[in-house]
Structure 1
Amino acid sequence: MRVELGPVGYWRHELSHCLHTTAGVLLDFHGLDPVQALGAGWGFDYPAGDVRREEYYFPGAAEDLFGGLAPFHDVRSRWHEPAGAREGWEQVRAALVAGTPVAVAADNFHLPFRPAHRDVHTNHLMVLYGFDDTTGDVFVADPVPPAFQGTIPLAALEAARDSGNPVHHDRDLFFTANPIANRWLEVRIGPEQPAFDPDFVDRVTAANLRGLRAEPDAADVAAGRLRGLAGLRSFLVEAVDRLPGDPAAGDEAFVVIGPVLAVTGLHAEFLRAAGRRFGEPRLAELAREVDRVAHHWSALRIAVATAGPDRAAAVPALLRRTSALLDAYDRALDGLQARLDRRRAALSGA
C-alpha cells in the first residue's frame, strides 16, 4: 500500500523552531494561514519548573501544544504515547491511511537528512505525510534548516522515534536525556475559524495587553505560575540569580526563551501582515517595535547559552540585557495600547 497526502507545503519563520514549523505545515495543510493562527497570541505563561528537554516545548501547554500556539483559533492537539515502536507505527500509519498527516517526535541522531545524524542526540518534531509499503519508505516534511521534504527508510524513522535520546557527549546539550517514546501528535482543526479582519486584530490586541499587563493573583502565586510581564520579570531575574551556583538555571532559561522568542517574532509578522492587508502603516510601525523585543530575546538567549564556566561574571551583563528586554516590551505595549485606544475612540464616534 502507498499513501502520499498532499499538498504538504513548506512553511517556516526565521525565528521559529521545530514546534512552530511543524504546526505551520499542518495548519497550512488544513487551510489555515500559519501567520494568522500562530502569530495572533503574544504572552507569557510558565508553570515554574515545568520545563522539559524537548525542542518542541511550549510553556503552559503540555497537554495541548497547538492550542497553546493558536489561542484565538479552534485548533487542538493531543499527545499519543504508544506502548512501543510497533504500536507507535500502527497508530501513525492508521492516521495517514485516514487522510491526516501527523507530527512525530524523533531523535535527530537517527535521521539521515539532519546535520546531527550519527553525531548529536536531540528531541525534534516533524511532519509525517505518507508511506510506501513496497519500498519501505516514509514521507517526511521538515522545513527546519537545512530543510528536507521527501522519503527516508521506515527503519530510520522507527529508530528515531524509539530512541532513548541519551547524553552521548558534551555536544548533546539542551534537548537530550528525555526518551522520545514513539510519541506523536493528533491535530484537530475546527470548521469555524475567525476572520482575519480589523475587529479580530483589535480583539487579539486587547487580550494580549490584558494578559501581559496583568498583576499576579493569589492563586498563581500559590501555584508558582508565572504570567505576563510580572511573571516574565520574576522568571528571568530568578534564573540569572541562580546561574552562578546552578548551571541548570541556564539550561532552563535557554529552553523557555526559545518558544517565547518564536512567538514574539511571529506576532511581529502578524502585525505586519495586518498592516499590509488593512492599509494601516501604524501596524507596520508596531511590528518593528515587537521585532525589537524579539531581537532582545535572541541576544539574551545566546548570552545565557554562552555564559561559560565563570557564570558569576556574566550576571551583570545578563541583568542589563533583561532590563533592556523589559523596556522594549513596555514600549511595544504602550504603542499597541495607544493604537487600540484611538481605534475604539474612532469607532465609538462613527
Structure 2
Amino acid sequence: MKAALVSDALGWRHDLAGCLHGCMATLLHHRGVAPLETLGAAWGFWHLPGDIRREEYYYPCDSGVSLLGALAPYHPVRSTWHHPADAAEGWAQVRAEVAAGRLVAVAVDNFELPFRPAYQDVHSNHMVIVQGFDEERGTVRVLDAVPPRFHGDITLEQLTAARDSGNPAVHDRDMFFTDVRIGNRWLSVELDAAPEDFPAFDRAHIRSVIERNVEGFRKGTPGPRLTGAEGLTAFLAWAGERLAAGEAVRDELFVVTGAALACTAVHADWLALAARTLAEPGLADAARGVERIAHHFSAIRIMSALTSSGELGPDRLARRSHALRSDLEQVLDVLAYEGAAL
C-alpha cells in the first residue's frame, strides 16, 4: 500500500483547551464516541507538587491511570503511549495504524512544523493527528485543530523532524514545554465497552456526574497530593510563598493551571449541553459560573508568564486566587443544589 487516508477526522476545538482535548476528541469521535459528553464530564483539581511534564498535553495522572483515563474517568476509555526505538520504527508503527484505518495522535515539536507560528523559532512539545500518507509524493496528511488550524499535507521529512526532535531550550522564548525529547511517541485510544454501552447522557447520569464532581472538590486534601478546593488553595498559596521568596514558579504555575483551565472550560460546555438536553435553566446558570472559574485560571496562567520578569507580585496573585476560590464556592453550592433537584 503506497497511500492511505483515514476518513472521518473531526477537527474538534475549544478556545480554552489545547491539543490534548482536541486530539482525544478526534480519536474518540472516530471510534463512535461523543467527545464532549465523554471529555467534559469530570471536573476537579489534582496535582502532585513537582510532578509536571513539560508537554503542552500535560494532564495530572495517578499511577496506573492513562492520560485519557484521567481525562475521562467516568467512561470506559483509556489510552496508551507507544515509545518506538527510533524515527524509522516510529514511522513504521504510525504508518501501519493509518494503513489499517486508524487515526493516530503523535507528539511533535512545533519548531519543525511549517504550519505552526513557532516554526523555526520556538521549541514546544505539541500533539497532532496523522490521518494519511502518500509515499509517491512523500507526504503525510496532518490535522491540527489548535489555531491557526491546519488540515493538509506536509512532507514526511518535516513530520519526522518534528517527531524525532530533541526539543531543546535554546533561548529565553523556549518556555514551558521544552527540554523533553519528543522521542517519536504516539498515542492510541482503547474502548473497554462498545460506544452504545457507554453511560447514557440522561438525567440520572448527569446527576451522578455533578454529585461526584462536587464531592471531589469538597473532600479534597491539601497534600502531599493536592486535590479538590483545599488542594487548589494549597497550590496557589505555595506558588505565592515561592514567588515572595524570589523562587521560580513560572513553569509549574503555567502548566498546572493550564490543565485546570482546560478541564474547567470543557466542563462548562458539558453543563451547557446538559442544560439543553434536560431543559434545565439552572444548569445553564451553573455552566456560566464554571466558565467564570475557567477565566480565573486563564488569568493566573497569563500571570505566571510575568513572574520571571518581576511584573507579577505575590499580592496580585493572592487577590486573583481569593477571587477564584470565592467564585468556586458559589458555583459548588449552585451545582449541589441543581444536582439534588434533578
TM-score (norm 1): 0.93
CA contact (8 A) 1:47 1:60 kept: no
Per-residue CA distance 1:159-213 (angstroms, 9 max, x = gap): 0000000112111111111110111101112313111111110010111111111
- Preserved CA contact (<8 Å) 1:139 1:150: yes
Query: 1:153 and 1:248 mapped to 2: Cα distance?
Result: 39
1:295 equivalenced with 2:300 (yes/no): no
Q: Does the CA contact (< 8 Å) of 2:110 and 2:123 recur in 1?
A: yes
2:272 corresponds in structure 1 to 272
Query: Distance between the aligned counterparts of 1:176 and 1:100, measured in 2?
Result: 29
1:77-226 mapped onto 2 (5 Å cutoff): 77-189=79-191, 190-191=193-194, 192-216=197-221, 221=223, 224-226=224-226
Distance apart, 1:308 and its partner CA: 4.4
- State whether structure 2 residue 69 is matched by structure 1 residue 67: yes
1:129-185 per-residue CA deviation (whole Å, 9 max, x = no partner) reads 111111111111101000001111000000000000011211111111111011110
Contact 1:39 1:266 in 2 (8 A): yes
Match of 2:4, SS state, is: strand
Offset of residue 61 of structure 1:
5.3
Cα offsets for 1:75-108 (capped at 9, x unmatched): 1101111111111111111111222111100000
CA RMSD of aligned residues (A): 1.5
Amino acid at match of 1:298: S
Identity %: 47
Number of corresponding residues: 337
CA distance in 2: counterparts of 1:225 and 1:69, whole angstroms: 17
1:315 aligns with: 314
Q: Deviations over 1:228-268 (max 9, x none)?
A: 11111111110121124455322101001111101111111
**Residue in structure 2 matched with residue 347 of structure 1 by the alignment:** none
Partner Cα distance (2:250, 2:153) in 1: 37
Matched, 1:7 2:8: yes
- Secondary structure in structure 2 of the residue aligned to 1:109: helix
3-state SS, counterpart of residue 13 of structure 2? coil
Alpha-carbon separation, structure 1, partners of 2:71 and 2:10: 19
Structure 2 stretches of 5 or more lacking a match? none
Q: Counterpart of 2:175 in 1: which secondary structure?
A: coil
Secondary structure of the corresponding residue to residue 253 of structure 1: helix
Paired amino acid for 2:211? A
Conserved 8 A contact 2:98-2:104? yes
Is contact 1:77-1:185 (8 Å) kept? Answer: yes
1:38 aligns with 2:39: yes
The residue identity in structure 2 corresponding to 1:208 is N
Task: Name the residue aligned to 1:263.
Answer: 263
Amino acid at match of 1:332: V
Asked if structure 2 preserves the Cα contact closer than 8 Å seen for 1:103 and 1:126, the reply is yes
Question: Cα distance 1:247–1:99, how it changes in 2: closer, same or farther (>3 A)?
Answer: farther
SS, match of residue 75 in structure 2: coil
What is the distance in 2 between the residues matched to 1:282 and 1:143?
32
SS of the residue 1:248 aligns to = coil
Offset at residue 277 of structure 1 (A)? 1.4
Is residue 2:333 matched to residue 1:334? yes
| In 2: Cα distance, 1:331 partner to 1:193 partner | 31
2:132–2:142 contact (8 Å) kept in structure 1 = yes
Distance 2:243 2:106 in 1: 33
The AA in structure 1 aligned to 2:307 is A
Distance 1:114 1:309 in 2: 26
Q: Which amino acid aligns with 1:36?
A: E
Gaps of 5+ in 1: 344-350
* Residues 276 and 235 of structure 1, relative CA distance in 2, 3 Å threshold: same
C-alpha contact (below 8 Å) 2:111/2:119 kept by paired residues: yes
CA distance in 2, matches of 1:165, 1:245: 30
**Aligned match of 1:76:** 78
Instruction: For residue 15 of structure 1, report the CA deviation from its aligned partner.
Output: 0.6
Q: TM-score, normalised by structure 2?
A: 0.95
